[in-house]
Amino acid sequence: MCTDSIIGLNIIEAKTKANILAEALPYIRRFSGATMVIKYGGNAMTDPQLKENFAKDVVLLKLVGIHPIIVHGGGPQINQMLRKMGKENHFIQGMRVTDSETMDIVEMVLGGWVNKEITSLLNLHGGHAVGITGRDNHFIKAEKLFITTPENVQQDIGQVGEVKAIDTALIKEVVEHGYIPVVAPIGVGERGEAFNINADVVAGKLAESLEAEKLIMLTNTIGVLDKNNRLLSRLTPNDIKALIADGTLQDGMLPKINGALQAAMHGVHNTHIIDGRVPHALLLEIFTDNGVGTMIFGQEQAE
């Protein structure tokens, strides 16, 4: 390739980057100072390059004046550790059955291994991240969750909790001091006992409590799909009700969609379920005109 051709390609590439930055500028202005809760999970947590991309994206959000708050899962890592310990994995309606021994492993993996890996990666890329769990300052208060079976029977699934209340004082203080909170979804009961809480549920409740600008959930799909695997880019409460009733939404998508819907219905301005397998999916969602994935509306008349 001749020198002129190389120069021409470099100019085109530079113009493309300039156009991307120009497109991002109004969104940077709009969201400066805004709080965004990001549920981090799926392949974005296990693929090395995607992990690097995610960390860089979050640090960039902080640098342009946005306040990202990370709530992470850790299902694959928990499964891996349980297998090493000779324990089987059991799920009911997308919720992990958690006996006391499993709870110890969950807390060790989420509050230790996974949480510290994320905070370290963010710090490596220039962020100032602090890892916490809901037991720190007892800021996520929980109570025991019972699953209702199709036969309308209340089923005990162990030390699995639902969010009773969130005290946002600790999170707000961390943010005010310039740090990025990284939250492991472990709650605390009235007697100080630990509860395993679905990370999607925690992210939704935290976004509600903080009156966040956005709740963004990273998944391993392109968004919410219909029965023909076509992307549903916009969903209202009635849409979601119908999709659950006909079985389109089930298992692990249920807590995710319910968390997003409840957040949208209780003050969070925008809630999104996006494909975490796409490089820089966060930036595409926040800083481009088209966005990616599915947007959840809290009312029937989606504006």
Per-residue model confidence as pLDDT tens digits over 173-199: 999 999 999 999 999 999 999 999 999
Separation of alpha carbons 67 and 29, rounded Å: 13
CA 147-257-77 angle, to 5 degrees, is 75
| Strand pairing report for 214-219 and 194-196 | unpaired
- At residue 16, the pLDDT reads 59
What's the whole-number mean pLDDT along residues 136-153? 87
Residue 151 clears pLDDT 70, i.e. is over it: yes
H or E element that contains 240: helix 237-245
Residues forming the annotated binding site for substrate? Answer: 74-75, 96, 196
pLDDT reported for residue 18: 65
Angle at 197 between CA 191 and CA 198, to 5 degrees: 175
> 16-33 pLDDT, tens per residue?
566 767 788 888 999 999
Determine the Cα–Cα distance for residues 68 and 180; give it in Å rounded to an integer: 6
Of the candidates 287, 279, 297, the one whose C-alpha atom is nearest the C-alpha of residue 43 is 279
Q: Provide the pLDDT confidence category of residue 302 given band limits of 50, 70 and 90.
A: very low
Where do the domains of the chain lie, and which CATH numbers do they carry? 26-296 (3.40.1160.10)
Q: Pull the structure tokens for residue 117.
A: 């890996």
Q: Which residues contact 13 (CB under 8 A, 6 or more apart)?
A: none
Query: Using 50, 70 and 90 to split pLDDT, how confident is the model at 169?
Result: very high
Mean pLDDT, rounded, of the chain: 86
109 close to 73: Cβ distance less than 8 angstroms: no
The answer, yes or no, to whether residue 113 has pLDDT greater than 70, is: yes
72-89 residue pLDDT tens: 988 889 999 999 988 888
Q: State residue 217's pLDDT score.
A: 93
pLDDT of res. 71: 97
Binding-site residues sit at 74-75, 96, 196
pLDDT value of position 8? 46
CB atoms within 10 A of CB 158: 19
140 pLDDT above the threshold of 60:
yes
Residue 272 to residue 288: CA distance in whole angstroms: 14
Please report which residue ranges of 85-138 form alpha helices under DSSP H: 100-108, 115-124
